[in-house]
Amino acid sequence: MKPKVLITRRVPQIGIDMVAAHCDIELWDSDLPIPRATLLEKVADKDAIYCLLTERIDDELLDAAPNLKVVSQMAVGFDNIDVAACTRRGIPVGNTPGVLTETTADFTWALLMSAARRIVEGVEYVRAGQWVTWGPLLLMGPDLYGATLGIVGMGRIGQAVARRAMGFGMRILYTDAQPIPGVAEEFGAHYVELDQLLAESDFVTLHTNLTPQTYHMIDAAALQAMKPTAILINAARGGVVDHDALVEALRTGQIAYAALDVTEPEPLPADHPLVHLPNCIVVPHIASASIATRTKMATMAAENLLAGVRGEPLPNRVNP
């Protein structure tokens, strides 16, 4: 009998086809997340789940899925998964590291440049028919070239962001749990404590995992420590930033601008102040959304899942 698999959303077809070639699949054939109650019902007879960061994989779900042999997530981040609970039950958890590094770094720069050079405001201005002349004072913003970039979290994506910063002649500061070997030599990046990074950076970009330690790491005090001209970029996880504090900081001019790919919660309600502040850009968690990268993520998730149902080691496993 073929293993039974639940795929929790429409994903790139190649991922579905790879799994369907070896398993009986049930696809939640929608662009919207599967409701929790339906998810709990559908996992009851499944050997494997191919899931997204929108599904909470916790003890309740694992109790509802007594046959589960593998959890394969089509994402690199896995803060939606109780990995310890999976480990206790001997269930491997797969993710998709590496393939989205460059794509996410590219997008970080798109956000950074859009915020600095006020691209979204410019587009809105033209669309509103307000463009009547060339203006010497119109929509001015800071230069990137020669500015100081502060990278919070110098993992794969942080390093890919640093590599691009070299082309802009930037001074690079970074912080992490400890200095990362080689990055000083490769990018000329200086390891500093978070306080110093916040105080000295013109751009602060977040690339840390969401953990209990990093939850609301950028809070009112952190925002207060930043320059009034600083721009904050978040392409990591929304929970790293205290959104109430960010609204206040943007409204009162404690910082100049924010550009967010990720929010807390997701989706951010359309009437949330961050959506409407003129000095904030919010986009719907699309940093990894290049066609090639989403295709690779879908195939990696399928490879992890197929290894799991065969009882083989997952090519990319997050639990020991």
Residues that bind ligand DGY (CB under 6 A): 53, 75-77, 100, 288
Active-site annotation holds for 266? yes
- The residues, any chain, with a CB within 8 Å of residue 130's CB and separated by 6 or more, are none
Among 118, 285, 294, 303, which one carries the catalytic annotation? 285
Between 69 and 294, whose beta carbon lies closer to ligand DGY?
A: 294
Between 108 and 254, whose beta carbon lies closer to ligand DGY?
A: 108
Q: How far is the CB of 286 from ligand DGY (least distance, A)?
A: 9
- Token digits of residue 141: 């913003």
CA-based Rg of the chain, rounded to a whole angstrom? 21
Q: How far is the CB of 85 from ligand DGY (least distance, A)?
A: 19
Contact 231, 255 (CB under 8 A): yes
Q: How far is the CB of 83 from ligand DGY (least distance, A)?
A: 14
Measured torsion, CA atoms of residues 297, 166, 235, 273, in degrees rounded to the nearest 10: -150
Active-site annotation holds for 41? no
Q: How far is the CB of 38 from ligand DGY (least distance, A)?
A: 23
**Chain Cα centroid distance, residue 14:** 23
Q: How far is the CB of 150 from ligand DGY (least distance, A)?
A: 21
Between 254 and 288, whose beta carbon lies closer to ligand DGY?
A: 288
Active-site annotation holds for 237? yes
Between 201 and 293, whose beta carbon lies closer to ligand DGY?
A: 293
Between 243 and 294, whose beta carbon lies closer to ligand DGY?
A: 294
Among 60, 193, 266, 312, which one carries the catalytic annotation? 266
> Which residues have a catalytic role annotated?
237, 266, 285
